[in-house]
Amino acid sequence: MCGRFALTATPDQTAAHLGLAELEEFPARYNIAPTQPVLMALAGPPRAPGSNLPDRQAMLVRWGLIPTWVKDTKAFPLLFNARSEGALDKASFKTAMRHLRALVPASGFYEWQQSGAAKGQPYWIRPKRGGVIAFAGLVETYAEPGGSEMDTGAILTTRANADIAHIHDRMPAVIEERDFARWLDCRTQEPRDVLDLLRPVEADFFEAIPVSDLVNKVANTGPEIQERGIVGPQPEKVRRQKPGADENQMTLF
Protein backbone atom coordinates (compact mmCIF):
# COMPACT_ATOMS: atom_id res chain seq x y z
CA MET A 1 0.00 0.00 0.00
CA CYS A 2 1.09 3.58 -0.54
CA GLY A 3 -1.18 6.20 1.02
CA ARG A 4 1.37 8.99 1.49
CA PHE A 5 4.63 9.87 -0.20
CA ALA A 6 7.02 12.77 -0.64
CA LEU A 7 8.83 14.53 -3.47
CA THR A 8 11.50 16.83 -2.08
CA ALA A 9 13.87 16.88 -5.06
CA THR A 10 14.20 20.04 -7.13
CA PRO A 11 12.40 20.38 -10.48
CA ASP A 12 15.75 20.08 -12.29
CA GLN A 13 16.67 16.89 -10.42
CA THR A 14 13.23 15.42 -11.09
CA ALA A 15 13.27 16.31 -14.78
CA ALA A 16 16.75 14.86 -15.22
CA HIS A 17 15.76 11.56 -13.61
CA LEU A 18 12.57 11.20 -15.64
CA GLY A 19 14.10 12.33 -18.93
CA LEU A 20 11.89 15.39 -19.28
CA ALA A 21 12.86 18.59 -21.08
CA GLU A 22 12.01 20.82 -18.14
CA LEU A 23 9.53 21.27 -15.34
CA GLU A 24 7.91 24.35 -13.92
CA GLU A 25 9.05 25.35 -10.46
CA PHE A 26 7.34 23.53 -7.59
CA PRO A 27 8.00 23.42 -3.84
CA ALA A 28 9.25 20.43 -1.89
CA ARG A 29 6.26 18.32 -0.87
CA TYR A 30 6.68 16.27 2.30
CA ASN A 31 3.20 14.81 2.76
CA ILE A 32 1.42 14.06 -0.51
CA ALA A 33 -2.00 12.49 0.07
CA PRO A 34 -4.79 11.01 -2.07
CA THR A 35 -7.01 13.48 -3.98
CA GLN A 36 -4.10 15.95 -4.19
CA PRO A 37 -2.42 16.75 -7.52
CA VAL A 38 0.64 14.62 -8.23
CA LEU A 39 3.26 14.84 -10.95
CA MET A 40 3.50 11.98 -13.42
CA ALA A 41 5.52 11.39 -16.58
CA LEU A 42 4.08 9.68 -19.65
CA ALA A 43 5.26 8.85 -23.13
CA GLY A 44 4.96 11.87 -25.40
CA PRO A 45 3.88 12.05 -29.04
CA PRO A 46 6.22 10.51 -31.62
CA ARG A 47 9.29 12.66 -32.28
CA ALA A 48 10.00 14.14 -35.69
CA PRO A 49 12.90 12.50 -37.57
CA GLY A 50 16.19 13.89 -36.34
CA SER A 51 14.68 15.47 -33.22
CA ASN A 52 16.70 15.26 -30.03
CA LEU A 53 13.88 16.44 -27.78
CA PRO A 54 12.76 14.13 -24.96
CA ASP A 55 9.93 11.77 -25.89
CA ARG A 56 8.24 12.10 -22.50
CA GLN A 57 5.81 14.63 -21.12
CA ALA A 58 4.84 15.72 -17.62
CA MET A 59 1.27 15.80 -16.36
CA LEU A 60 -0.43 16.81 -13.13
CA VAL A 61 -3.13 14.34 -12.16
CA ARG A 62 -5.51 13.94 -9.26
CA TRP A 63 -4.27 11.08 -7.08
CA GLY A 64 -7.21 8.70 -7.14
CA LEU A 65 -8.05 7.01 -10.43
CA ILE A 66 -11.57 7.22 -11.84
CA PRO A 67 -12.31 4.85 -14.74
CA THR A 68 -14.15 6.35 -17.70
CA TRP A 69 -17.22 4.17 -17.15
CA VAL A 70 -17.98 5.48 -13.64
CA LYS A 71 -21.35 7.26 -13.44
CA ASP A 72 -21.37 8.47 -9.85
CA THR A 73 -17.95 9.48 -8.53
CA LYS A 74 -19.29 10.06 -5.02
CA ALA A 75 -20.35 6.43 -4.75
CA PHE A 76 -17.12 5.10 -6.29
CA PRO A 77 -14.19 4.17 -3.98
CA LEU A 78 -10.99 6.18 -4.02
CA LEU A 79 -8.52 4.15 -6.12
CA PHE A 80 -5.18 5.63 -5.16
CA ASN A 81 -3.44 2.22 -5.32
CA ALA A 82 -3.71 -0.61 -7.84
CA ARG A 83 -2.51 -4.11 -7.00
CA SER A 84 -0.11 -5.07 -9.78
CA GLU A 85 -1.13 -8.72 -9.59
CA GLY A 86 -4.66 -7.95 -10.84
CA ALA A 87 -4.24 -4.71 -12.81
CA LEU A 88 -4.10 -6.54 -16.13
CA ASP A 89 -7.63 -7.91 -15.78
CA LYS A 90 -9.40 -5.67 -13.26
CA ALA A 91 -12.00 -3.49 -14.98
CA SER A 92 -10.88 -0.36 -13.12
CA PHE A 93 -7.28 -0.55 -14.35
CA LYS A 94 -6.99 -2.62 -17.52
CA THR A 95 -7.59 0.32 -19.88
CA ALA A 96 -4.91 2.43 -18.20
CA MET A 97 -2.53 -0.55 -18.18
CA ARG A 98 -2.95 -0.77 -21.93
CA HIS A 99 -2.93 2.90 -22.90
CA LEU A 100 -1.54 5.20 -20.19
CA ARG A 101 1.25 3.81 -18.04
CA ALA A 102 3.18 6.45 -16.13
CA LEU A 103 6.08 7.19 -13.82
CA VAL A 104 5.47 8.85 -10.45
CA PRO A 105 8.58 10.64 -9.14
CA ALA A 106 9.14 10.35 -5.39
CA SER A 107 11.79 10.79 -2.74
CA GLY A 108 10.21 8.05 -0.63
CA PHE A 109 6.94 7.02 0.96
CA TYR A 110 5.32 6.50 4.35
CA GLU A 111 3.93 3.31 5.80
CA TRP A 112 2.34 2.42 9.13
CA GLN A 113 3.22 -0.61 11.23
CA GLN A 114 0.04 -1.66 12.97
CA SER A 115 -0.07 -3.12 16.47
CA GLY A 116 -3.40 -3.93 18.06
CA ALA A 117 -5.96 -1.17 18.07
CA ALA A 118 -3.42 1.66 18.09
CA LYS A 119 -3.00 3.93 15.06
CA GLY A 120 0.40 2.41 14.41
CA GLN A 121 4.01 3.52 14.10
CA PRO A 122 4.67 5.53 10.92
CA TYR A 123 7.88 5.02 8.95
CA TRP A 124 9.55 7.25 6.38
CA ILE A 125 10.87 4.81 3.77
CA ARG A 126 13.47 6.19 1.39
CA PRO A 127 16.12 4.81 -0.98
CA LYS A 128 19.42 4.26 0.81
CA ARG A 129 21.29 5.92 -2.03
CA GLY A 130 19.06 8.99 -1.83
CA GLY A 131 17.84 10.88 -4.86
CA VAL A 132 14.66 10.46 -6.90
CA ILE A 133 12.93 7.19 -7.67
CA ALA A 134 9.91 6.45 -9.85
CA PHE A 135 6.85 4.45 -8.86
CA ALA A 136 4.80 2.68 -11.51
CA GLY A 137 1.66 4.69 -12.17
CA LEU A 138 -1.53 4.55 -14.21
CA VAL A 139 -3.50 7.45 -15.70
CA GLU A 140 -7.13 7.71 -16.76
CA THR A 141 -8.82 10.83 -18.12
CA TYR A 142 -12.30 11.05 -16.68
CA ALA A 143 -15.03 13.04 -18.46
CA GLU A 144 -17.31 14.65 -15.89
CA PRO A 145 -21.07 14.92 -16.57
CA GLY A 146 -20.74 18.65 -17.18
CA GLY A 147 -18.31 18.05 -20.03
CA SER A 148 -15.03 18.96 -18.32
CA GLU A 149 -12.21 16.44 -18.14
CA MET A 150 -10.02 15.47 -15.19
CA ASP A 151 -6.77 13.51 -15.37
CA THR A 152 -6.65 10.95 -12.55
CA GLY A 153 -4.08 8.41 -11.51
CA ALA A 154 -3.05 5.56 -9.22
CA ILE A 155 0.19 4.05 -7.95
CA LEU A 156 0.78 0.36 -8.58
CA THR A 157 1.79 -1.76 -5.61
CA THR A 158 3.50 -5.11 -5.25
CA ARG A 159 4.39 -7.43 -2.39
CA ALA A 160 6.82 -5.98 0.13
CA ASN A 161 10.48 -6.94 0.03
CA ALA A 162 12.52 -7.97 3.05
CA ASP A 163 13.16 -4.35 4.07
CA ILE A 164 9.45 -3.52 4.34
CA ALA A 165 7.68 -6.80 5.14
CA HIS A 166 7.92 -6.33 8.93
CA ILE A 167 6.09 -3.00 8.53
CA HIS A 168 3.51 -3.79 5.83
CA ASP A 169 2.93 -6.55 3.28
CA ARG A 170 2.63 -4.16 0.30
CA MET A 171 4.87 -1.48 -1.21
CA PRO A 172 4.90 0.72 -4.32
CA ALA A 173 6.29 -0.90 -7.46
CA VAL A 174 9.52 0.92 -8.36
CA ILE A 175 10.54 1.19 -12.02
CA GLU A 176 14.30 1.22 -12.52
CA GLU A 177 15.68 3.95 -14.78
CA ARG A 178 16.88 1.41 -17.33
CA ASP A 179 13.27 0.22 -17.71
CA PHE A 180 11.56 3.61 -18.07
CA ALA A 181 11.24 3.41 -21.86
CA ARG A 182 9.80 -0.11 -21.84
CA TRP A 183 7.27 0.69 -19.10
CA LEU A 184 6.04 3.85 -20.82
CA ASP A 185 5.88 2.34 -24.31
CA CYS A 186 2.18 1.59 -24.73
CA ARG A 187 2.49 1.46 -28.53
CA THR A 188 4.61 -1.68 -28.85
CA GLN A 189 4.65 -3.12 -25.30
CA GLU A 190 1.47 -4.94 -24.30
CA PRO A 191 0.61 -4.95 -20.56
CA ARG A 192 1.65 -8.61 -20.29
CA ASP A 193 5.08 -7.65 -21.68
CA VAL A 194 5.85 -5.31 -18.76
CA LEU A 195 4.44 -7.23 -15.81
CA ASP A 196 7.94 -8.36 -14.90
CA LEU A 197 8.81 -4.72 -14.10
CA LEU A 198 6.31 -4.71 -11.22
CA ARG A 199 8.37 -6.97 -8.98
CA PRO A 200 9.63 -5.84 -5.56
CA VAL A 201 12.95 -4.00 -5.55
CA GLU A 202 15.98 -5.86 -4.29
CA ALA A 203 16.77 -6.09 -0.59
CA ASP A 204 18.65 -3.14 0.92
CA PHE A 205 17.22 -0.72 -1.64
CA PHE A 206 15.16 1.10 1.00
CA GLU A 207 15.76 2.16 4.57
CA ALA A 208 12.87 2.62 7.00
CA ILE A 209 13.07 5.40 9.57
CA PRO A 210 10.49 5.58 12.38
CA VAL A 211 8.90 9.03 12.57
CA SER A 212 6.36 10.77 14.77
CA ASP A 213 2.64 10.78 14.13
CA LEU A 214 2.81 14.29 12.61
CA VAL A 215 2.54 12.62 9.20
CA ASN A 216 -0.92 11.32 10.12
CA LYS A 217 -2.41 14.78 9.52
CA VAL A 218 -2.50 15.94 5.92
CA ALA A 219 -2.23 19.53 7.13
CA ASN A 220 1.34 18.85 8.34
CA THR A 221 3.48 19.51 5.29
CA GLY A 222 6.91 20.52 6.62
CA PRO A 223 10.22 18.63 6.78
CA GLU A 224 9.76 17.99 10.51
CA ILE A 225 7.42 15.09 9.71
CA GLN A 226 10.45 13.14 8.45
CA GLU A 227 12.43 13.54 11.66
CA ARG A 228 13.08 10.37 13.61
CA GLY A 229 10.50 9.69 16.31
CA ILE A 230 8.64 6.95 18.13
CA VAL A 231 4.90 6.93 18.69
CA GLY A 232 4.25 6.00 22.31
CA PRO A 233 1.29 3.98 23.61
CA GLN A 234 -2.02 5.80 23.59
CA PRO A 235 -3.11 6.90 27.07
CA GLU A 236 -6.08 5.00 28.41
CA LYS A 237 -9.30 6.91 28.63
CA VAL A 238 -10.34 7.65 32.19
CA ARG A 239 -13.78 6.27 32.87
CA ARG A 240 -15.99 8.87 34.43
CA GLN A 241 -17.62 7.68 37.66
CA LYS A 242 -20.95 8.84 38.96
CA PRO A 243 -20.74 10.88 42.18
CA GLY A 244 -21.03 8.65 45.22
CA ALA A 245 -20.61 5.46 43.22
CA ASP A 246 -18.41 2.67 44.54
CA GLU A 247 -16.10 1.40 41.76
CA ASN A 248 -16.23 -2.08 43.28
CA GLN A 249 -20.01 -2.21 43.28
CA MET A 250 -21.81 -3.84 40.41
CA THR A 251 -24.36 -1.75 38.59
CA LEU A 252 -26.97 -2.22 35.93
CA PHE A 253 -26.35 1.21 34.42
**Helical residues (DSSP H) of 61-119, grouped into ranges:** 94-99
Spell out where 75-145 has E strands. 81-83, 101-106, 108-113, 121-127, 133-143
The verdict on whether 207 is a catalytic residue reads no
Closest CA to 94 of 84, 104, 102: 84
| Rounded Cα gap, residues 174 and 197, in angstroms | 8
Catalytic, out of 24, 85, 111, 140: 111
Segment holding 42, helix H or strand E: strand 37-43
DSSP assignment letter at 9? S
111 is catalytic: yes
What are the angstrom distances between the C-alpha of 219 and each of 29, 80, 122, 213, 228?
Answer: 12, 19, 16, 12, 19
SS3 content of the chain, % helix, strand, coil (to 5): 15, 30, 50
Options 2, 24, 85, 202, the catalytic residue: 2
Any idea which residues carry the catalytic annotation?
A: 2, 111
